[in-house]
Amino acid sequence: MKFVFRLPDVGEGIHEAEVINYEVAVGDAVQADQVVIKVETDKAVVTLPSPVTGTVLETPLNPGDIVEVGGALIVLEAEGDSELTVSENDQLAEVAASKSKKKADKSIPVIAGMETPLSPIQAKRVLATPHTRHLARRLGIDISTVSGTGRAGRVTDDDVHRAAETGPAVSTGHQRSSLVGHDATSAGFDFEKYGPTQREPLKGIRKRIAEVMVRSYTTIPHVTHADEADITDLMNVVRSQKPAAEARGIKLTLTTFLTKAVVAALKQFPDLNASIDDGAGEIVFKNYFHIGIATDTEHGLMVPVVQNADQKSVLQIARDIQQLAEKARNREIDLDELRGGTFTITNPGVIGGIHATPIIQHPQVAILATLAARKRPVVRDDEIVIRTMMPMVIAFDHRLIDGATGARFMNYIISLLQDPMKMMLDMV
């Protein structure tokens, strides 16, 4: 039986992927679960295994092609589980072979018409009544792009109306995603008029980052608040414990402790671990603490997530960060490891700088940036002393968090970073 393997819906928000390469060629025998194609989606490169055993008939795509969810990736002649069609072909051939008087026309297209499966059904589909689906078509909305607020993600009439009012109208297929919030685009702008240029397609991770940033920046009213922490004592702890950690193959960094401090602070200030569910008009307080760690890779920014950071020891967190960063850099990271973050930490300080204006990852509501820690003369008890000072900036969603809360959150984190003993007590 001919089997068309289509790009599965790998998860929320991802509706297309770029082909990197096939791992098999036409004519190859393929086992079920054997990887047949590598594609790039969202922020990761994903390998897709064949759901069936069989032989490759067609590899319709080329590297660089964009394929939408549901689009054909590869066509296989699947083994076994044949339709009646197949057997009847055999039967024709049998009869033909058994007698020589008349020659069977094997080219007769044998179709077991009604003998094909009684009622085909699409793979995981949009949950909506026929009426709602019709409504979406009438309003020019691609219903597969509407997020449903009903039970089990059901798309309701209201969802469709809302999408029609707010979202871009999509008639068929996947829209070209707009990278700008308003009408002002640089499309058609004649850059070449002013000098020579090179052009590259905006695609893959870069494109994804662009989309996410536009959504975050246009949705969230950002407020930033800056301060600095005296991390002299903490750095001593880091330095003194480093060899012990290294002996276990783990790289202990300031970020590890910062993650712990952030989790402790989020427990005190649940607003910063929340999200706004625009559809439902509700504030969602999360009882889990997944901390995104912004990671610079040669392909662009990625934010792997340390899951349940509240339940992990300092060393476990350090190891997680190390492994996730490595996977991200090698592009081996799973989509699941990039999702579900409740708060993000970014550390442009490793490169330098004393101030930044970080952008929150929607639908999170806050992001903390740490900047370059430097030894500086500071005043302590009316004396000038040399301390290691680290500037920090927090950006938060003013729809949910007021300036005072943001400042208190920051103060609390600073109090932990300045006093490793206190941090130990508050680490839960």
Partner 1 sequence: MVVGDFAQDVQTVIIGAGPGGYVAAIRAAQLGQEVFLIEKELTGGVCLNWGCIPTKAMIEVSGLKAHLEKASEMGITVKEIRVDLAKLHSWKAGIVQRLRNGVETLLQKNGVELIRGEAIFSEPGKLMVESERGIQRVSYENVIIATGSRPIELADLPFDGATIIDSNAAIELKEPPEHLLVVGAGSVGIELGTVYRNLGSEVTIIETQETLLPWIDPEISRVLQRSIKKAGIDLKLGSRITATESNNGRVSMTIQQNGKKQLLDADKVLIAIGRRPNTDGMGLRELGLQTDDRGFIQVNQKMQTNLAGVYAIGDVVAGPMLAHRASHMGKIAAEVISGEPAAFDNVVVPGVIFSSLEIASVGLTEQQATEQGYSVKAGVFPFRALGRAMTLGEADGVTKVISDADSGTVLGVHIIGSHASDLIAEGGLAVESGAHVDDLSLTIHAHPTLTEGIMEAAEDIEHKAIHIFNPPVKK
- Among the listed residues 13, 49, 51, 70, the single contact to partner 1 using CB under 8 A: 51
Radius of gyration of the chain (CA): 28
85 binds partner 1 (CB under 8 A): yes
Tokens of 414: 């600073």
Q: Could you tell me which stretch among 90-98, 196-204, 255-263, 337-345 binds partner 1 (CB under 8 A)?
A: 90-98
Burial letters 110-145, b for 16+ CB under 10 A, else e: beeeeeeeeeeeeeeebebeeebbebbeeeebbbbb
User: Which residue, 92 or 372, is less far from partner 1 as judged by CB?
Assistant: 92
119 binds partner 1 (CB under 8 A): yes
Q: Give φ, ψ of 368 to 5 degrees.
A: -115, 125
Q: What is the dihedral of CA 179, 181, 184, 188, to 10 degrees?
A: 10
Q: Could you tell me which stretch among 136-144, 230-238, 347-355, 359-367 binds partner 1 (CB under 8 A)?
A: 136-144
Residues with Cβ < 8 Å from 218, sequence gap 6 or more?
A: 181
What's the full length of the chain, in residues? Answer: 428
Where in 231-260 is the site for partner 1 (CB under 8 A)?
none
Residue with tokens 């509501």: 365
Compute the least distance from the CB of residue 141 to partner 1, in Å: 10
334 binds partner 1 (CB under 8 A): no
8 Å CB contact between 38 and 20: yes
- Among the listed residues 14, 57, 75, 96, the single contact to partner 1 using CB under 8 A: 96
95 binds partner 1 (CB under 8 A): yes
Q: Which is the catalytic residue, given 161, 174, 222, 398?
A: 398
75 binds partner 1 (CB under 8 A): no
- Among the listed residues 25, 62, 114, 182, the single contact to partner 1 using CB under 8 A: 114
Tokens of 89: 């072909």
Q: Could you tell me which stretch among 41-49, 81-89, 249-257, 396-404 binds partner 1 (CB under 8 A)?
A: 81-89
Compute the least distance from the CB of residue 12 to partner 1, in Å: 15
123 binds partner 1 (CB under 8 A): yes
Where in 150-209 is the site for partner 1 (CB under 8 A)?
151-154
81 binds partner 1 (CB under 8 A): yes
User: Which residue, 91 or 311, is less far from partner 1 as judged by CB?
Assistant: 91
What DSSP letter does each residue of 279-326 carry, written as one string? TTTEEEE-SS--EEE-EEETTEEE--EETTGGGS-HHHHHHHHHHHHH
Total of residues contacting partner 1 (CB under 8 A) = 50
To the query of whether residue 398 is one of the catalytic residues in this protein, the response is: yes
Residues with Cβ < 8 Å from 81, sequence gap 6 or more?
A: 1
32 binds partner 1 (CB under 8 A): no
Q: Label residue 195 left, alpha or beta by phi (over 0 means left) and psi (-120 to 50 means alpha).
A: left
- Among the listed residues 27, 62, 99, 200, the single contact to partner 1 using CB under 8 A: 99
Tokens of 77: 């002649």
Q: Which of 123, 105, 103, 111 is nearest to 87 (CA)?
A: 111
Binding-site ranges for partner 1 (CB under 8 A): 51, 81, 83-85, 87-88, 90-92, 94-96, 98-99, 102-105, 108-125, 127-130, 133-134, 137-138, 140, 151-154
Catalytic residues, by residue number, are: 398
